[in-house]
Amino acid sequence: MSDCWDHLRRYTQARIALGHVGHAVPTGALLDFQLAHARARDAIHLPWDIARFADGVAGRGLSPIILSTRVVDRVQYLKRPDLGRQLDAASERLLRTSGGPEIDLALIFTNGLSSTAIETHGLLLLDALVRALAAEGLRIGPICLVANGRVGLSDPVGAALGAKIAVVVVGERPGLSAADSLGLYLTYRPGEGNTDAERNCISNVRPPVGLAYEIAAVKLAHLARQALRLNLSGVALKDDLPGHRLPSEPH
């Protein structure tokens, strides 16, 4: 017998209309919940193989720079979000001596709260970002790779590189329907004192069930171009990209 909620399951990963057996959910639904919980925990605690990621960046003809935050270990990262927003002294010195041509955009990758996300989608999203930013005529600097970083890390990295815009690609907090989601945060004029109100976010990048790499990249490149034109980002910068300029969703 069909349930009136059955057709809605096609449009959401939320746990709706699970049914019941007595006062409990069915065994299948319970096991699925426990598996999702385990995947979320694994996403947080899985170490990020940053050296292998750097090899992937270099293999694309780009220049990776491996940096570190002030976080000592993963436990401290979870307890001290402030330390994940700060570079350690050695990384600050490295960036100060990494002078090069003027760049429009600093691109930073960090595992954040989901190493699964950055391992699964990071390099493929990088490919799409490089294409989309080049199409907008935007110059990017070295690709900065930082384990155990938070969104606010884009400020010291972008400022040290003298970038007009900083973008951090970060593993988002895993939930019970998604453990591999990436978020992109854009900040115009990165530097001390910026708050999240000065940032634009593109979230849930995780094809095939989330946002496609190409769509996220085109949106990011458009926001970056608009930020440079209007000299602002955050709540004052709206995503006004016409739908016809977006690539088609893959099927």
Yes or no: say if 35 and 23 are a contact pair by the CB < 8 Å rule. no
User: Is residue 23 in a domain?
Assistant: no
Instruction: State the CB neighbour count (10 A cutoff) for residue 2.
Output: 6
Q: Give the pLDDT score at 1.
A: 46
Over pLDDT 70: what percentage of the chain? 96
Mean pLDDT of 90-119: 91
Over pLDDT 90: what percentage of the chain? 73
User: Is residue 208 in a domain?
Assistant: yes
Alpha-carbon Rg for the chain in angstroms: 20
CATH number at residue 178: 3.40.50.11240
Q: Give the pLDDT score at 25.
A: 86
User: Is residue 198 in a domain?
Assistant: yes
User: Is residue 162 in a domain?
Assistant: yes
User: Is residue 21 in a domain?
Assistant: no
Q: State the residue for tokens 């069909």.
A: 2
User: Is residue 66 in a domain?
Assistant: yes
User: Is residue 82 in a domain?
Assistant: yes
User: Is residue 155 in a domain?
Assistant: yes
pTM score over 0.85: yes
Structural domain range at position 200: 50-245
Strands 105-110 and 64-68, sheet pairing: unpaired
Strand positions, DSSP E, the chain:
64-68, 105-110, 140-147, 165-171, 182-188, 199-205
Helix axis angle, 89-96 to 154-161, nearest 10°: 30
Strands 140-147 and 64-68, sheet pairing: parallel
pLDDT tens-place string over residues 125-184? 999 999 999 999 999 999 999 999 999 999 999 999 999 999 999 999 998 888 999 999
How many H-runs (helices) and E-runs (strands) does the chain carry?
Answer: 7, 6
Q: Is the pLDDT of residue 43 over 80?
A: yes
